[in-house]
Structure 1
Amino acid sequence: MSDALPASGFHAGQYTIDGYGAGGFSFAHLSHRGSILMLPSGVHVWSATAPAEITEESLAELFRAPRGTVEHLLLGTGTDLVPPRPALRAALKAAGIVVDPMATGAAARTYNILLGERRRVACALIAVA
């Protein structure tokens, strides 16, 4: 890892995840300590640090994306799989987004595969040690 995510908390572009762990992620020759939200428009700093903090509000950037831009959200919930609350699942479904919760490591690996297949995918990843 070389440079940190810009101070703006956003880096334009869609990238694979090169590494994860030690409380952060590396991608596009950048690194970030903390959680991230990876959308087709770019990588955002994400405020969630625990599954209880995964809400419509914390995923506001995702909900602002044009409909159809994201069809599948991989939700990395930390070291363990924690299903999203029914209200969040319903809001995502209403937005045309299928959510797939899993441990963060599995979500990062699956994201890279789906991105390589040119799927309309995003991921929200809670950082793990």
Structure 2
Amino acid sequence: MKLHLTQAAGLHLITAYEDDYVAVNREKYPGNVLVLPEKVIVDWTQADSNSLSAESLQPLHALDVEVILLGTGPCLRFPPPELLHAFLCRGVGIEVMDRPAACRTYNILASEGRKVAAALLLA
């Protein structure tokens, strides 16, 4: 699905997504991608929504953000609560949603100047 929005200068925004990629500023990324307003990190994990572990979420702990949007693929799949607890203990919000909702929500929050990350799983 192609997203239509006003480009905010200097921000990495999600411009499209399909089952096999996410496009950030029109550049397609075919694997799991971590999108922040100032950068894109490709292949941040090899996990899918069924195999998430504390180790696979470790790269997210180093981020300096207020909220992480965890896009679990085309369908909403909640990871075990103990995986999310570590973020909440540090005061970082983590919202689990399907990938389309995470993409849309990320663009809104990034455009508002929020410190947000979209951790997107393709499957």
Q: For this structure pair, what is the TM-score category when the shorter chain's length is used for normalisation? A: 0.7 to 0.9
Q: 1:83 to 1:22 in 2, by over 3 A?
A: closer
Aligned residue number for residue 17 of structure 2: 20
Is 1:113 the counterpart of 2:111? The answer is: no
Which residue of structure 2 lines up, in the alignment, with residue 39 of structure 1? 36
Residue 87 of structure 2 corresponds to residue 89 of structure 1: no
For the aligned residue pairs, the C-alpha RMSD in angstroms reads: 1.9
> Is contact 2:21–2:31 with CA below 8 Å preserved after alignment?
yes
Identity of aligned residues (%): 37
- Residue in 2 aligned with 1:3? none
- Distance (whole Å) between structure 2 residues aligned to residue 48 and residue 21 of structure 1: 18
Q: Any gaps of 5 or more consecutive residues in structure 1?
A: 1-12
Output the TM-score relative to the length of structure 1. 0.76
Determine if contact 2:87/2:94 at 8 Å carries over to the other structure: yes
Q: Give the match's secondary structure for 2:14.
A: coil
The list of structure 1 runs, each at least 4 consecutive aligned residues, that deviate by more than 6 angstroms after superposition, is: none
What is the aligned partner in structure 2 of residue 99 from structure 1? 94
Q: Would the alpha carbon gap of residues 41 and 110 (structure 1) be closer, same or farther in structure 2, given more than 3 Å must change?
A: same
Q: What TM-score, normalized to structure 2?
A: 0.79
Q: How many residues align?
A: 113
The structural deviation recorded for 1:40 is: 4.8
